[in-house]
């Protein structure tokens, strides 16, 4: 701590000395120089920041306007100044008298393309002055046909790697990382700030595009330094719109979308299912009788043909996906905002609502809707009040409310569980439900189909009926976050010119609760011999009334007891927490002729109060986890630039974390950065400027820290449970029991910050004034990653010992290339592209000592996957018996012809875990890219954006997708249905293809355990190229709108995830290894935007 204090004092002294020197220099400079002062505005009188002001006779002499549109430039009388700004007509002004202040008004050509970047703590910076790596996304580019903002980020900007793994409403957030995964530690995701308030991915996902003013991504140490330890994995910084002075405006956006799966999985038909099941039953043991005889197959065919006399209840052929899921669904969204104000106060009030519907079908026999409905409501109010000429008060209020209603399942993924159940239930064993027989004509409930037996006929355990699961009830949850922010901005020019003070306070409260309403279904089956073929009638038996106890219908049914006719209310989880943030900031800026200096000092204190202190390790309430969470941050920045040509920046973050002991509680993380605008040098003549309009070089280096390194609350405290350990039992008949002590974790007072050394270099280039190119190379060295030490069990320790031993090296490349040109007043063409590459390597990784060098992770790619090397399938039983022993699981079943043959890497004659080696690539893409275009002609616009990923692998999960194999889930009680691709290409006695898509089949996991191992046989390339978004829009001419009192109206049609190009064709590769889950959606959206 003393060491950190010395570093802090040294940083503060350097900062103060720099500012002091600049202040002293200003006195000397002002005595020897005179400058022209001016302001640049647009036609509406709004100051324009970032306007280039250049002396025409000396192109290297120039400056840019500040945030208030002001500039200071040394000139001589009669000099001609050129004013240039993107989106405005270039203008020249002759300086007649340098002592007279100029006011220059630029005329707009088209919509202004802002040259202002929002950086740390909401600071507005002119783009050319930014030293760090900051990427911005225009809010309009985030407009897609979907309602989840996180799904619009992938391929949108260089430096972001993201992918979506589900399309289910409410569970469809993308996983995204700034410059990929840079650690194998506990936290890998970026910090998310909306209006400077730390929020979650869910909050970002539901943010409305119409409310966004700016969207910045901070990527390197220089850009994130002010956030200290919170910004170690990058920062996403969003600001929302504020009111503008002038007439009150009303903006309305209405959208309606239709969505459907990007790819529909093709399953084998019921007849093929039965034939393959018979084959799987006998291919391992020819003496086994076939399960489905010719009569069953024939009559099921009749059911499929809907032939006269066929009976689908006796000979079912159920398409469970069609029974449960619709082909498409709808989403509705609306956003309304009102803004306006005057010189004293400005306001913006926004309200939005969205309704995402799932794909489940509804049965009208129920008096409730079992389909997914995910509703989001938001209210936002931003008010700016000018208390005095130098004091501004900002009040921000925001409420986000989510309501979910969906099927009652035993899985947190809700309908994904049902989608999986539909894939894993036999289409021919029983129907979804029965029509009542003569004995059940008066029953009021649904007669769900099932079959007695299952795994054990003696106890009446049955199978999962997905239809019953879907209809048996519903679950609801409601979550909300309400936030209030108060900001005070004080101009202190009357004390020290250029000095400002800012105060910030935020409190937000999150709450969650859920409950369910469900009944236990009534299950029926046809009595043995109860089918009368002559009359085509059947008699049913009520399975729940079996004499040996209640029939549960399989754990997947969710039954907890006997069948019931009425919904039963069950309360669920409740949670709440309150977040408080206090922030104070001093800011100083001074322009001294050709010199500009600025500095800021920021103090932040955060506190989170929790209602339920749940220990994530034990899932039980724990005193340590119920205590308030606190952290502190002191940050500073000093910047200097000369002639708006040379830029120098120093930042530091001094963080305090309660999670570490006193010796490691505070961390000091400094950064330094510099940039050089080469194109403003004197040697950069007019001829070169016409070709290379602008060239900027920049570099930064610094340290970053992270205290979110594990789920243990206080690393320097031990955690002991006095009643959870093994105790003793004694007394007559052992009626007395004394529980023992269990140690959950040991204290370690040496645990400290995970740290990163980050180097970033970049080049920004503009050619022919229309083509912008940005290239960045970066390198990051992570150290002190928390890991459990490899300690022999003979030490007798009850819990792992955690220490900072892990290291990782990561490097990458970000590329951006954009082209924009106005060919006329009516035609604008734009092309956009970006590319991100990120590759990490394990350095130090705690692991046992292996005899085989290929088993070590150290030196392999970050996220490297391990598995067996599959050579091919065995030719026959003889080859299998003569090969190295391959025996997995406890069944002892030998491998046979058609099973997967693995490579014996260590040559010991046995296939064991020692033969697992690095295979494939990580599951997180190492390459992400995007490209697109936009053409605007008069009122028409057509735009498209493609997104792709490469250098990524995933394993097909054989335990989930293998035909007739029970997956590793208690929700499923029957075997998986075969994919049509497996039916077309699998090893059999008739098709002894050694490289068939699927190896020899079996009807149990034990029989084919050899083929279920993670290996190259199941590894696939996860690369794809997707048309992410496309849009056609039209702005209705003003002359038609004036009659209606409408200022602006635009109608548009856009789409999301429209098509995919990939080598993998079983399901959408973005889902990963288990395609038997709720599919990713493509959407077609119709919208209208009206401004009154």
| pLDDT bucket at 889, cuts 50 / 70 / 90 | confident
pLDDT band of 8, cuts 50, 70, 90: very low
pLDDT (0 to 100) of residue 46: 74
DSSP conformation letters of 854-890: GG--TTSBTT-EEEB-EEEE-SSHHHHHHSSB---SS
Instruction: Show Cβ contacts of residue 2 under 8 Å, excluding neighbours closer than 6 positions.
Output: none
| Predicted pLDDT of residue 926 | 97
Q: What is the DSSP code (8-state) at residue 1078?
A: P
> At 875, phi and psi to the nearest 5?
-65, -45
Alpha carbons 675 and 889: distance in angstroms, whole number: 61
Q: Which two tokens stand for residue 14?
A: 């350097």
Residue 697 binned pLDDT confidence (cut-offs 50, 70, 90) = very high
Degrees, nearest 5: CA angle 790-793-797: 90
Range 658-674 burial, b when 16+ CB lie within 10 A, else e: ebbbeebbbbbbbbbbb
Cα gap 18→620, rounded to integer Å: 53
Whether 470 and 324 have beta carbons less than 8 Å apart is answered as yes
On whether the CB atoms of residues 774 and 158 are closer than 8 A, the answer is yes
pLDDT at 232 > cutoff 80: yes
Name 863's Cβ contacts closer than 8 Å, sequence gap at least 6: 181, 184, 840, 922, 923, 924
Q: 974: which 2 tokens?
A: 């029957």
pLDDT given for residue 10 in this prediction: 47
Question: Per the structure block, which two tokens stand in for 530?
Answer: 């109860």
User: Which pLDDT tens digit goes with each residue over 214-226?
Assistant: 999 999 999 999 9
Q: How high is the mean pLDDT of the chain?
A: 88
Of 426, 466, 424, which Cα lies nearest the Cα of 323? 466
Mean pLDDT of 810-831: 95
pLDDT at 1070 over 60: yes
Give the other-Cβ count within 10 Å of 607's Cβ.
Answer: 15
Confidence of residue 1003 (pLDDT cuts 50, 70, 90): confident
Q: How confident is the model at residue 415 (pLDDT cuts 50, 70, 90)?
A: low
* Distance between CA atoms of residues 776 and 835, nearest Å: 11
Q: Which of 360-369, 657-666, 1045-1054 has the lowest mean pLDDT?
A: 360-369
322, 358 contact by CB (below 8 A):
no
pLDDT tens for residues 1073-1082? 989 889 999 9
- Range 19-45 average pLDDT: 58
Reply yes or no on whether the pLDDT at 853 is more than 60.
yes
List the structure tokens of 882. Answer: 């003569």
Query: Are the CB atoms for 277 and 292 separated by under 8 Å?
Result: yes
Residues in contact with 838: Cβ distance below 8 Å, sequence separation at least 6, in sequence order: 161, 179, 180, 181, 182, 810, 811, 812, 926
DSSP string for 954-969: EE--HHHHSTTPPPS-
Residue 708 pLDDT greater than 80, yes or no: yes
What is the distance of C-alpha 649 from the center of its chain? 32
Q: Spell out the long-range contacts of 737-743 with Cβ–Cβ below 8 A and sequence spacing 24 or more.
A: 742/798, 743/718, 743/719, 743/798, 743/799
pLDDT band at 15 (very low <50, low <70, confident <90, very high): very low
pLDDT tens sequence across 255-272: 999 999 999 999 999 999
- With 0-12 / 13-18 / 19 or more C-beta atoms within 10 angstroms meaning exposed / middle / buried, residue 58 is exposed
Mean pLDDT is lowest, of 235-244, 545-554, 635-644, 1035-1044, for 545-554
Query: Is residue 975 scored above 90 in pLDDT?
Result: no
Based on its alpha-carbon atoms, the radius of gyration of the chain, rounded to whole angstroms, reads: 34
- What lies within 8 Å, CB to CB, of 5 at 6+ separation is 666
Tally the C-alpha atoms within 13 A of residue 222's C-alpha that lie toward its C-beta: 25
Model pLDDT, residue 968: 53
- Using DSSP's 3-state secondary structure scheme, residue 358 falls into coil
- Residue 83 to residue 97: CA distance in whole angstroms: 18
Separation between Cα atoms, residue 727 and residue 736, nearest integer Å: 11
Q: Would you state the structure tokens that stand for residue 282, as one six-digit string?
A: 């006998």
Output the pLDDT for position 106. Answer: 87
Closest alpha carbon to 646 in 671, 683, 675, 673: 675
Residue 893 or residue 233, greater confidence: 233
d(CA 145, CA 1029): 8
Backbone angles phi, psi at 653, to 5 degrees: -130, 130
Instruction: Indicate the pLDDT class of residue 112, thresholds 50, 70 and 90.
Output: very low
pLDDT at 111: 40
**Where does residue 859 fall: left (phi above 0), alpha (psi -120 to 50 degrees), or beta otherwise?**
left
- The predicted pLDDT at position 242 comes to 94
Can you name the residues that pair with 632 across neighbouring β-strands? Answer: 605, 656
pLDDT at 1086 over 90: yes
Convert the pLDDT of each residue in 534-553 to its tens digit.
999 999 998 877 655 445 55
A 10 A CB-CB count for 43 gives: 10
Residue scoring higher pLDDT (380 or 290): 380
Are 503 and 583 in contact by the 8 Å Cβ rule? The answer is yes
Q: What is the mean pLDDT of residues 472-477?
A: 90
Q: Hey, what long-range contacts does 682-686 have (CB within 8 A, 24 or more apart)?
A: 682/58, 682/60, 683/60, 684/59, 684/60, 685/59, 686/59
Residue bearing tokens 């690393």: 715
What confidence tier does 858 reach under pLDDT thresholds 50, 70, 90?
very high
Mean pLDDT of 376-403: 97
- pLDDT reported for residue 235: 95
**Residue 612 pLDDT more than 50?**
yes
Range 640-643, long-range pairs (CB < 8 A, 24+ positions): 640/18, 640/22, 640/595, 640/596, 640/597, 641/129, 641/595, 641/596, 642/594, 642/595, 642/596, 643/61, 643/62, 643/63, 643/594, 643/680
Report d(CA 634, CA 8) in Å as an integer.
Answer: 9
Q: How confident is the model at residue 44 (pLDDT cuts 50, 70, 90)?
A: low
Q: Is 873 exposed, middle or buried (0-12, 13-18, 19+ CB in 10 A)?
A: buried
Give residue 556's pLDDT: 41
Taking the CB of residue 311, how many other CB atoms lie within 10 A of it?
A: 16
Q: Which domains does the chain have, with CATH numbers?
A: 2-105 (2.60.40.1120), 857-918+957-1017 (no CATH), 939-950+1021-1092 (no CATH)
Q: Does 19 have pLDDT greater than 60?
A: no
Picking from 232, 180, 235, the residue whose alpha carbon sits closest to that of residue 756 is 232
Confidence of residue 34 (pLDDT cuts 50, 70, 90): low
> What digits encode the pLDDT tens for the residues 133-173?
999 999 999 988 888 999 999 999 999 999 999 999 988 99
**DSSP type of residue 184:** S
DSSP code for 210? G
Sequence-distant (≥ 6) Cβ neighbours of residue 1052 within 8 angstroms: 941, 1031, 1032, 1033, 1034, 1086, 1087, 1088, 1089
Coil, strand, or helix at residue 309?
Answer: coil
Q: What is the pLDDT of residue 1018?
A: 98
Q: Count Cβ atoms within 10 A of the Cβ of residue 150 and give its class: 0-12 exposed, 13-18 middle, 19 or more buried.
A: buried
How much is the pTM? 0.86
Largest CA distance in the chain: 115
Q: At what angle do helices 270-283 and 294-305 cross, to 10 degrees?
A: 160
pLDDT of residue 416: 57
Q: Tell me which of 254 and 80 has the higher pLDDT.
A: 254
How does pLDDT run across 624-667, given as a tens digit for each residue?
788 899 999 999 999 999 988 999 999 999 999 999 999 999 99
């Amino acid at each position: 701590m003393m060491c950190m204090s010395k570093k802090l004092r040294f940083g503060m002294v350097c900062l103060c000395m720099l500012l002091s020197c600049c202040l002293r220099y200003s006195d000397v400079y002002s005595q020897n120089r005179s400058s022209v002062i001016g302001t640049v505005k647009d036609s509406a009188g709004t100051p324009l920041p970032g306007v280039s002001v250049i002396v025409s006779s000396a192109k290297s002499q120039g400056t840019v306007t500040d945030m208030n549109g002001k500039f200071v430039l040394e000139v001589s009388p009669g000099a001609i100044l050129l004013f240039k700004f993107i989106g405005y007509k270039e203008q020249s002004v002759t300086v007649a008298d340098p002592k007279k202040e100029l006011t220059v008004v630029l005329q707009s050509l088209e919509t202004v393309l802002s040259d202002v970047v929002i950086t740390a703590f909401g600071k507005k910076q002119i783009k050319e002055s930014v030293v760090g790596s900051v990427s911005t996304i225009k809010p309009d580019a985030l407009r897609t046909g979907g309602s989840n903002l996180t799904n619009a980020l992938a391929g949108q900007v260089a430096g972001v790697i993201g992918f979506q793994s589900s399309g289910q409403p409410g569970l469809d957030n993308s996983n995204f990382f700034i410059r990929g995964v840079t650690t194998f530690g506990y936290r890998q995701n970026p910090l998310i700030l909306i209006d400077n308030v730390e929020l979650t991915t869910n909050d970002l996902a539901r943010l409305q595009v119409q409310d966004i003013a700016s969207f910045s991504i901070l990527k390197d140490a220089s850009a994130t330094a002010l956030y200290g330890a919170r910004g170690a994995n990058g920062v996403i910084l969003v600001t929302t719109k504020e009111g503008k002075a002038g007439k009150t405006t009303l903006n309305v956006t209405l959208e309606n979308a239709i969505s459907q799966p990007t790819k529909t999985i093709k399953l084998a038909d019921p007849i093929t299912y039965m034939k393959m099941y018979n084959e799987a039953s006998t291919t391992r043991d020819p003496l086994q009788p076939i399960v489905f005889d010719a009569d069953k197959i024939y009559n099921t065919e009749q059911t499929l043909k809907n032939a006269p006399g066929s009976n689908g209840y006796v000979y079912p052929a159920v398409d469970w996906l069609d029974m449960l899921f619709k082909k498409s669904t709808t989403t509705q969204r609306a956003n309304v905002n009102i803004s306006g104000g005057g010189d004293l106060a400005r306001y913006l009030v926004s309200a939005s609502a969205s309704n995402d519907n799932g794909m489940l079908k509804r049965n009208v026999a129920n008096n409730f809707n079992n389909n997914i409905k995910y509703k989001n409501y938001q209210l936002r109010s931003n008010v700016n009040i000018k208390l005095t000429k130098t004091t501004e008060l900002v009040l921000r209020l925001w409420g986000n409310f989510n309501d979910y209603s969906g099927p009652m399942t035993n899985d947190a993924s809700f309908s994904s569980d049902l989608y999986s159940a539909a894939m894993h239930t036999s289409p021919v064993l029983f129907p979804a439900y029965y029509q009542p027989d003569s004995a059940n004509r008066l029953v009021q409930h649904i007669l769900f189909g099932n079959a007695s037996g299952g795994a054990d006929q003696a106890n009446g355990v049955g199978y999962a009926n997905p239809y019953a699961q879907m209809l048996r009830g519903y679950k609801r949850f409601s979550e909300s976050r309400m936030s209030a922010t108060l900001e005070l901005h004080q101009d202190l020019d009357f004390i020290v010119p250029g000095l400002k003070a800012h105060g910030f306070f935020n409190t937000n409260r999150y709450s969650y609760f859920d409950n369910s309403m469900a009944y236990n279904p009534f299950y029926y089956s046809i009595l043995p011999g109860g089918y009368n073929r002559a009359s085509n009638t059947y008699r049913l038996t009520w399975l729940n009334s079996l004499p040996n106890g209640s029939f549960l219908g399989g754990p997947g049914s969710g039954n907890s007891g006997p069948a019931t006719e009425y919904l039963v209310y069950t309360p669920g989880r409740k949670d709440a927490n309150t977040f408080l943030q206090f922030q104070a900031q001093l800011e100083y800026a001074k322009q001294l002729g050709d010199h500009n200096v600025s500095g800021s000092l920021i103090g932040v204190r955060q506190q989170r109060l929790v209602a339920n202190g749940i220990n994530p390790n034990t899932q039980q309430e724990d005193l340590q986890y119920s205590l308030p969470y606190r952290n502190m941050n002191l940050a500073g920045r000093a910047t200097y630039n000369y002639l708006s040509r040379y830029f120098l920046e120093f930042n530091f973050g001094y963080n305090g974390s309660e999670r570490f002991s006193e010796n490691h509680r505070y961390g000091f993380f400094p950064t330094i950065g510099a940039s050089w605008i080469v194109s403003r040098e004197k040697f950069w003549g007019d001829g070169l400027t016409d070709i290379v309009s602008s060239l900027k070089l920049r570099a930064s280096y610094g340290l970053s820290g992270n205290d979110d390194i594990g789920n243990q609350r206080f690393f320097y405290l031990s955690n002991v449970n006095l009643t959870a350990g093994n105790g003793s039992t004694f007394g007559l008949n052992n009626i007395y029991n004394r529980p023992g002590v269990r140690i959950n974790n040991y204290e370690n007072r040496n645990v400290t910050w995970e740290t990163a050394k980050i180097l970033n270099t970049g080049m920004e280039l503009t050619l022919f004034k229309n083509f912008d190119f940005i290239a960045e190379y970066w390198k990051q060295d992570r150290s002190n990653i928390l890991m459990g030490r490899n300690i022999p069990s003979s030490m007798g320790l009850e819990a792992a010992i955690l220490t900072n031993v892990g290291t990782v090296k990561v490097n990458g490349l970000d590329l951006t290339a954009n082209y924009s040109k106005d060919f006329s007043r009516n035609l604008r063409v734009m092309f956009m592209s970006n590319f991100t590459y990120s590759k990490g390597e394990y350095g130090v990784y705690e692991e046992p000592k292996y005899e085989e060098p290929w088993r070590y992770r150290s030196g392999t790619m970050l996220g490297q996957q391990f598995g067996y090397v599959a050579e091919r399938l065995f030719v026959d039983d003889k080859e299998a018996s003569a090969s190295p022993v391959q025996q997995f699981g406890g069944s002892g079943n030998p491998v046979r012809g058609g099973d997967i043959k693995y490579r014996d890497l260590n040559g010991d004659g046995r296939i064991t875990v020692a033969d697992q080696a690095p295979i494939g690539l990580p599951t997180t893409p190492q390459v992400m890219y995007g490209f697109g275009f936009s053409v605007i002609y008069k009122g028409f616009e057509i735009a498209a954006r493609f997104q792709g990923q490469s250098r990524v692998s995933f394993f097909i999960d054989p335990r989930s997708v293998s035909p007739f194999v029970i997956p590793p889930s208690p929700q499923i009680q029957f075997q998986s249905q075969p994919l049509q691709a497996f039916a077309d290409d699998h090893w059999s006695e008739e098709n002894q293809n050694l490289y068939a898509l699927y190896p020899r089949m079996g009807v149990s996991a034990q029989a084919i355990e050899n083929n279920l191992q993670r290996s190259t046989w199941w590894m696939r390339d996860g690369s794809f190229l997707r048309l992410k978004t496309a849009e056609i829009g039209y702005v209705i001419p003003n002359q038609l709108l004036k009659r209606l009192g409408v200022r602006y109206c635009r109608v548009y049609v856009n789409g999301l995830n429209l098509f995919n190009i990939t080598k993998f064709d079983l399901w959408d590769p973005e889902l990963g290894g288990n395609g038997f889950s709720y599919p990713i959606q493509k959407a077609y959206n119709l919208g209208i935007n009206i401004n009154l």
